[in-house]
Structure 1
Amino acid sequence: MTWNALFGLTNLVALLGWAALLLLPRRPLTHSFILFAGVGLLCLAYTVMLGLTVSGTVDPAGQPGAAPFDPSDYSIAGLRSLFLSDGGLVIGWTHYLAFDLFVGLWIGRDADHKGYSRLVQAPFLLLTFLAGPLGLLLWLAVRDRRARRLAKSAG
C-alpha cells in the first residue's frame, strides 16, 4: 500500500468517526464505534507505520537530497528530515487525526454530561476537527463556568 493510499484511508476513518460524533445519537454503541473503530484504528495504524519506518522495514519515501531519518534525533532538524518524507507526513497526520478525534469524543461526552445542546457543541467539535488545540482551548474556557456551577449545586 502506498503512502498516498494510507493517507486517504486514515482520513476516511477519521471522517467516519467525526460524522458519527456529529450526526449520530450519543449512545454507548456510538461511543464505542468512535473510540475503537475510529480512534483505536488510527492509533493502530500510527503504531504500525511508525514501527515499520523507525525499524527501517519501510521506506518513508523522503525527498531527494534530504537527510535520512534518524529516530534518535529529536531536534528540529531531525524531525524535519522525517516530515520531509511522505511516510513521515502520513505518520504525523495520523497522530493528529487520532488525538483530535479522541479529544472530540471527550468534548461531546463532557458537553452531554453538562447539558449542552448538540447545536452549542457543534462549533467546538468542528473547531477541534479543523484545529484541534484551538477547539479544545475554547471548550475548556466555556465548560469551566458550568462545571463550577454543577459542582456547587451537587455539594
Structure 2
Amino acid sequence: MAWEQIFGIANLVALVAWGVLILAPRREIVVRALFFGPILLLALGYAAGLVLVLSGVVPTGGGGADFSTIAGVRSIFSSDAGVTIGWVHYLCFDLFVGLWIARNADAYGLNDLKGRLIQAPILIATFMAGPLGLAIYIVLRAVLLRTRSAHLIPT
C-alpha cells in the first residue's frame, strides 16, 4: 500500500471519528468504540510506521533521522513515509485530546444541548489545530466551571 493511500485512510478514519465525537449521543458504548476503535487503530498504525522508519526498513530520504536535532526531525519529514507517520501522530493525539475534552466537559455539566453547542466549536478547533482547542477548553473551563471544580488539572 502506498503512503498516499495510508495518509488518505488515516484522514478518513479521523474525520469519521470526529464526526461521531461531535454529533453522536455520548453514550458509554460510543466513547468506548472511539477509544478502542479509531484512536487505537491510529496509535497502532503510528507505532508500526515509527518502528519501520527508525529501524531503517523504510528510508526517510535523508540520513541520520533522529528526534534530537532540527536536522534529524527535518530528515524524518522529508519523505512520504515520514510525513504520513507524523500526520497519523497528530490525528491520533488530537482525537484522544478531543475525547478527553468531551468527556471532561460532560462530567462537569456541559452535557445538555447548550453544553454540546459550546463543545462543538472547541472540538472542531481541537480537530483543526489540536493545542489551540485544548487551550480554549482549559480557559473556558477555568471561567465557566470554576465553581464546580476545585482544580483544573485532569485526574
TM-score normalised to structure 2 length: 0.88
List per-residue Cα deviations over 1:19-46 (Å, max 9, x = no partner). 1101111011100111111111100000
How many Å apart are 1:84 and its aligned residue?
Answer: 1.0
| Amino acid in structure 1 at the alignment position of 2:51 | G
Structure 1 runs of 4+ aligned residues shifted over 4 Å read none
Give the number of aligned pairs.
146
| Alignment gaps of 5+ in structure 2 | 151-155
Contact 2:13 2:38 in 1 (8 A): yes
Using a 3 Å threshold, how does the CA distance of structure 1 residues 80 and 72 change in structure 2: closer, same or farther?
A: closer
Asked whether the equivalents of residues 66 and 73 of structure 2 are also in contact (C-alpha less than 8 Å), the reply is: no
Q: Which residue of 2 aligns with 1:88?
A: 82
Give the aligned partner of residue 44 of structure 2.
44
Match of 2:140 in 1: 142
Is 1:20 the counterpart of 2:26 in the alignment?
Answer: no
* Structure 1 residues 89 and 150: alpha-carbon distance in aligned structure 2, compared to 1, 3 A threshold: same
Q: 1:25 to 1:89 in 2, by over 3 A?
A: same
Residue identity opposite 1:13 in structure 2? V
Structure 1 residue 71: Cα displacement: 4.0
Bigger shift: residues 140-149 or 16-25? 140-149
Contact kept in structure 1, 2:65 and 2:75, CA below 8 Å: no
1:110 aligns with 2:104: yes
Q: Residues 134 and 73 from structure 1, CA distance in 2 versus in 1: closer, same or farther, beyond 3 angstroms? A: closer
AA partner of residue 68 (structure 2):
Y
**Which residue in the other structure is 1:129 paired with?**
127
Measured on the aligned residues, the alpha-carbon RMSD in Å equals 1.4
Q: Secondary structure at the match of 2:58?
A: coil
Q: TM-score, normalised by structure 1?
A: 0.88
Corresponding residue SS for 2:68: coil
Q: Which runs of 5+ in 1 are unaligned?
A: none
Larger deviation: 124-133 or 114-123? Answer: 114-123
